[in-house]
Amino acid sequence: MRKRRTFKYWIGQLHLWLGLASGLVVLIVSLTGCLFVFQQEISEAIHKEWFFVKPSQTAPMPLSILKEKAQAILGPDHPINSITTYPQENRSMEFMAYRENDSALTYFGAVAYYQSVFLNPYTGAVTGLRDYKYDFFYIVKDLHWSLLLNTPYGQPIVGWSTLIFVILLISGIVLWWPKKWTKAWRDRSFKIKWKASFKRINYDLHNVPGFYSLLPALIIAYTGLVFYFSWLSPAPAPQILKKSDTTGLATTSDPLEKALQTAKYQVPGASRFALSPAAGKDGVIYLFAYKGRDTYYGYDVLQFDQYSGVLLHHSRDKEKKAVQRLFEKNYDIHVGAIGGLTGKIIAFIASLICASLPVTGFLIWWGKRRKKNRSGSAIHATRRESVKLTMDR
């Protein structure tokens, strides 16, 4: 009589085939996410001279002069579209030039150029040059984001694979759930039996760490889904767009510097500022004032006249709706930066465990498959031997 299939059996089948279908992508995305968590700390440790300078008793050079120096180094074909500066006296300034190519298939074709020059704000001396297009961590980041394909091609693969991974996490906890809460079952569910056979250790490595990392893994996966599925994110707040006065009546020798000094006064608690020089004749200078040195949520946006440096509009973080402020935390939650060093360590460990799950899961399936094949071969061999004996009689 054929044995009746249980609910847990069908959950196991769903878990198996979805895991086999998405395992490679989950492995790549999890491993690259794990590598990227501490990219800033590692970059600043390896290239300390790029990011840090010796404080000086003299005032920093005007921002317009520093921008001219940086532009001369990057070249006229790479116009600067982002400037990052810090109020701390020991930090360099970063001038970045970036342009995309939407028609390309791969990451390397999609990024026309992505370069930065770091300058000592007191002397204007170059402290470092960084080509982000070929930078190790940014290749890792794009591999994580879209498998080194242009976003329209790679993001759907990553997005749907992440959604499948969420289903795998939920189905995995159903399969993990102990039949009984006796001590033997608790030990089997919560502990790895290191002295057992390889197959048992591999099985435990799939189940036990998978359980302990479930909550952070779900958070990381969900925040990753927000980047791809627009219906998971709230409607963007209405933008107030200002224009610069093109009459030329109000001018200043250094509108960028004036904008920066105004921002420092308007947002005294900011830990870094990112400026975007104006684009077009009536475009404005955009300045983002970030509260955290390593985070992106909780920022103010200021718009300045590109000719006079006069403040045209100030969008304050405290005036945003709660849902919008939560959404702006999505990236920092995703990489663990929301919790500082502790949060990054948790994200690192959880991502590493997530990367191991497709490997241990595949080994479990492969072991059962080989065992089934051996059992089938043994049965056929027994039948052949039985037929042979019958014929010999």
Query: What is the residue-level pLDDT of the chain in tens, covering all 393 positions?
Result: 566 788 889 999 999 999 999 999 999 999 999 999 999 999 999 999 999 999 998 999 999 999 999 999 999 999 999 999 999 999 999 999 999 998 899 999 999 999 999 999 999 999 999 999 999 999 999 999 999 999 999 999 999 999 999 999 999 999 999 888 888 888 888 999 999 999 999 999 999 999 999 999 999 999 999 999 988 888 777 888 999 988 876 677 899 999 999 999 999 989 999 999 999 999 999 999 999 888 999 999 999 999 999 999 999 999 999 899 999 999 999 999 999 999 999 999 999 999 999 999 999 999 888 777 666 655 555 455 543 434 444
Residue 243 lies in a domain: no
Measure Cα distances from 92 to 87, 124, 273 in Å: 10, 10, 12
**151, exposed or middle or buried, with CB in 10 Å at 0-12, 13-18, 19+?**
middle
Q: Give me the domain span that covers residue 393.
A: 1-177+213-237+320-393
DSSP β-ladder status, 126-131 and 272-276: unpaired
Residue 98 lies in a domain: yes
Residue 48 lies in a domain: yes
Distance (Å, whole) CA 233 – CA 334: 14
Sole residue written with tokens 């490679």? 24
Is the CB of residue 8 less than 8 Å from the CB of residue 174?
A: yes
Region for 18 from its dihedrals, namely left if φ exceeds 0, alpha if ψ lies in -120 to 50, beta otherwise? alpha
Provide the sign of the torsion angle of the four alpha carbons 41, 69, 307, 96, taken in this order: negative
Residue 352 lies in a domain: yes
Residue 207 lies in a domain: no
Residue 17 lies in a domain: yes
Residue 275 lies in a domain: no
Q: How many structural domains comprise the chain?
A: 1
Containing 104, the helix (H) or strand (E) segment is none
Residue 140 lies in a domain: yes
